[in-house]
A and B are shown apart, each in its own frame.
Chain A
Amino acid sequence: DGGITQSPKYLFRKEGQNVTLSCEQNLNHDAMYWYRQDPGQGLRLIYYSQIVNDFQKGDIAEGYSVSREKKESFPLTVTSAQKNPTAFYLCASSPRDRGPRNYGYTFGSGTRLTVV
């Protein structure tokens, strides 16, 4: 079955460390996205990529970095520069052409990152 996989489900990081969250999809989707979810804040866009080797900053990109070397993979690195990284991180993908047969995003099940 096609889907989008995030790993790990839970991640603990010491202050000052970088950590990388994995996101892999086998849906042959061109576009991939990273969102951060905090209680009462909804989903805020960190980075997105519409094609391999290209990505764009979202609303809250500071302290984060991404790469898109393969269509299937869009890892997110939370750097030590991110002041408050404890949150639930969601990865999503979509076909680039969101026409009548392609709508909405497919989401992974999320990674909960906690700074200890």
Chain B
Amino acid sequence: GEDVEQSLFLSVREGDSSVINCTYTDSSSTYLYWYKQEPGAGLQLLTYIFSNMDMKQDQRLTVLLNKKDKHLSLRIADTQTGDSAIYFCAEAGTALIFGKGTTLSVSS
């Protein structure tokens, strides 16, 4: 397909791991990004991965990249209520192309 695809909703319990999945479109994309959006705010860059990497870990965040399947995932370990937000994956083109966003709901 032509769009960056994400599942729309994910609900987890506090302390569990969250995994947000994304399928992107352009196998030649150099950078792939994860952004976080809290209610009524702009987007905040969480992490990024270069296309020549398979995995990147940054504190509680782990990004996995499967170039063959054009699949990107974001794992949040020990999910907290403050992690509740919308998460967007994006691929680099002339401008960034965003998925529709995954709303993560964390219950205590």
A residues near B (Cβ < 8 Å) are 6, 33, 35, 40-43, 45, 48, 56, 58, 90, 92, 98, 100, 103-110, 112
Partner of A103, one of B33, B44, B101: B33
Complex CA–CA separation, A6 to B35 (angstroms): 19
Cβ of B42 and Cβ of A43 under 8 Å apart? no
Min CB–CB distance A114 → chain B (angstroms): 13
Size of the B side of the interface (Cβ < 8 Å), in residues, is 23
Q: Known: A45-B95, A48-B95, A104-B48. Is A40-B8 also a contact (CB below 8 A)?
A: yes
Pick from B41, B94, B100: contact of A109, CB under 8 Å: B41
Q: Does B77 contact A (CB under 8 A)?
A: no
Contacts of B35 in A (CB 8 A): 104, 107
Contact status B31-A109, CB under 8 Å: no
Instruction: Determine the residue in chain A with the shortest Cβ distance to B98.
Output: A43
Least CB distance from B92 to A in Å reads: 7
Q: How far is the CA of A45 from the CA of B97 in the complex (A)?
A: 8
Q: Is the CB of B95 within 8 A of A103?
A: no
B45 cross-chain contacts in A, Cβ below 8 A: 103-106
Q: B55 an interface residue at 8 Å Cβ cutoff?
A: no
- Known A98-B31, A98-B92, A104-B33; judge A40-B100 contact (CB<8 A): yes
B10 is an interface residue with CB less than 8 A from chain A: no
Given A92-B96, A103-B48, A109-B41, 18 extra CB contacts under 8 A: A6-B42, A33-B96, A40-B8, A40-B100, A42-B100, A43-B88, A43-B98, A48-B94, A92-B42, A92-B43, A98-B31, A98-B92, A100-B50, A104-B48, A105-B43, A107-B35, A107-B44, A109-B42
Q: List A contacts of B33 (CB < 8 A).
A: 103-104
Residues of A within 8 A of B4 (CB): 42
